[in-house]
Structure 1
């Protein structure tokens, strides 16, 4: 089913064929729609429509110069009128109004939850270590405020990252403490049992929790694997696409990662002459060095896919 979801996300601008999706999942074509609905809690059509609208809302919030019609076509709608109707039904405003109120909406979200919209909200500081070593805050908590650029004037490199073949396990559900628990209780033991504890790790949050219902948010805990590696158990294999990325090194307290993401996406990006691409954002880190055992600080590289305006 994860392969089906990945395929849908990669082809939101195209018609989706149920028979092809059933073949991707190795499910019976006759039963696929029922299996999908039982697994995801919504029909295939509802899921695809929701993802198209969520993707469109994200694109409209990125400050790109594309028109509303271009956004509509890029997310699988056949006309601007059909897109506008569906968008207003879901979000209560027109696409143009959504774009115009982006800054106010993001400030309100940051004040309410202390997390940057679109960020993974993952917690590498607690992935492989004692969950109490970084202080009293549990993963996902912050002080509820956003501090502007002076606190997070990070050095940002624009580099080409290679493709990465990764084994991953997926968590579907609310972002927050569950992600740290997933790494510690599921992914890290699996990595250890397969001799992968020294490999590069990636945390990929696909959904914006301000747009996607919490119980439908998707997060992949990934570890890089060699070409001949065969996944087992609940793990599967995928390839991260690589390409041009804006990369910033983060080292600090866990509650500060939210402000780092906010600075990068809402302050650095608009002034960079670049725009966010459709490839996934992620946090990249090395398992052995992710935690500073002396301070409890964690290290990761925040990676945002970019392309020219």
Structure 2
């Protein structure tokens, strides 16, 4: 029974992975059920029973998530182009679906996103992925490196994590104006609190970009700092880099006690090497760094 259940879950994981890899393709029920090698006559109910939402809704939410990132954080595409990429034949159909999920039109969202509604809309998508997509880690996934210190420009986020999207948006706009592109200037997040502190007001993270150039604030709250060098336990994560709590928890709860190492005096942080939506979520890459003594 346990072997059969593992096989069943593996087939369902293949479905989610295929959808995330092929958001621009035709993802009808017959195609998706074939990926899992399930009968198309039963697959819809099997998927809904496993993940709590239908195949159609999962695909729609995955496409709308990519579209919302492009609207909020990127300005190279028009709403029409984004609608086409999201699988809609016309901008008005896209706008209706977008408003239904987020309570805002695409154009309003691109100007002033309602991040609370945005987070709530993707709750079912995140819950579905957490059912079967959690990755386990082992000691072979962790390497110890000596890293140099990095001078960084820092934008602080302090307060409710539900408003982090607005800070990220300001940070992206500032670094664009400063000419600090991710391909030439590394991106870091330094976590100064738990991901879910007891009080949301206590949430604290620094958004950082590496640069040796003079820093111009341009009316934005930016300060200069440094990510110190030294020994680091490094865990590389591919896919689902929105939530890096599982790898961080593994480093603290399992790897560190078993390693014989001691944690250093700087917070846990990550470097983001590739980004969604420039590439599919399953190809986004981040490295989590645990400072060591």
Give me the TM-score of the superposition, normalised by structure 1: 0.48
Per the alignment, residue 171 of structure 2 pairs with: 187
RMSD: 3.8
User: Which of residues 254, 267, 272 is equivalent to 1:267?
Assistant: 254
Higher-helix-fraction structure: 2
Q: Is the 8 A contact 1:127 1:188 kept in 2?
A: no
1:73-126 CA-partner distances (Å, limit 9, x unpaired): xxxxxxxxxxxxxxxxxxxxxxxxxxxxxxxxxxxxxxxxxxxxxxxxxxxx99
Name which of 189, 207, 216 aligns with 1:221: 207
Higher normalized contact order (CA 8 Å, seq sep 6+, divided by chain length): 1
Separation of aligned partners in 2, 1:268 and 1:299: 21
Distance 2:266 2:164 in 1: 21
Q: In structure 2, what is the equivalent of residue 302 of structure 1?
A: 288
Deviation digits for residues 5-33 of structure 1, max 9, x if unmatched? xxxxxxxxxxxxxxxxxxxxxxxxxxxxx
Would you say the 8 A contact 1:159–1:247 is kept in 2? yes
- Name the structure 2 match of 1:93: none
Cα gap change, 1:239/1:266 in structure 2, threshold over 3 Å: closer, same or farther? same
Conserved? CA contact 1:126–1:139, under 8 Å: no
Gaps spanning 5+ residues in structure 1: where?
1-124
Which runs of structure 2 are paired with 1:1-309 in the superposition (5 Å)? Answer: 129=70, 137=122, 151-153=136-138, 155-175=141-161, 177-183=162-168, 185-198=169-182, 199-208=185-194, 213-233=199-219, 234-254=221-241, 257-286=244-273, 289-291=274-276, 293=278, 295-297=280-282, 298-307=284-293
Please give the alpha-carbon distance, in whole angstroms, between the structure 1 residues aligned to 2:141 and 2:187: 22
- Gaps (5+ residues) in structure 2? 1-65, 73-81, 87-120
Local SS of the residue matching 2:244: helix
Quickly say closer, same or farther: Cα 1:231–1:164, change in 2 above 3 A. Answer: farther
Q: Tell me, yes or no, if the aligned pair for 2:187 and 2:208 is still in contact at 8 Å.
A: yes
How high is the TM-score relative to the length of structure 2?
Answer: 0.51
For residue 238 of structure 1, report the CA deviation from its aligned partner: 0.8
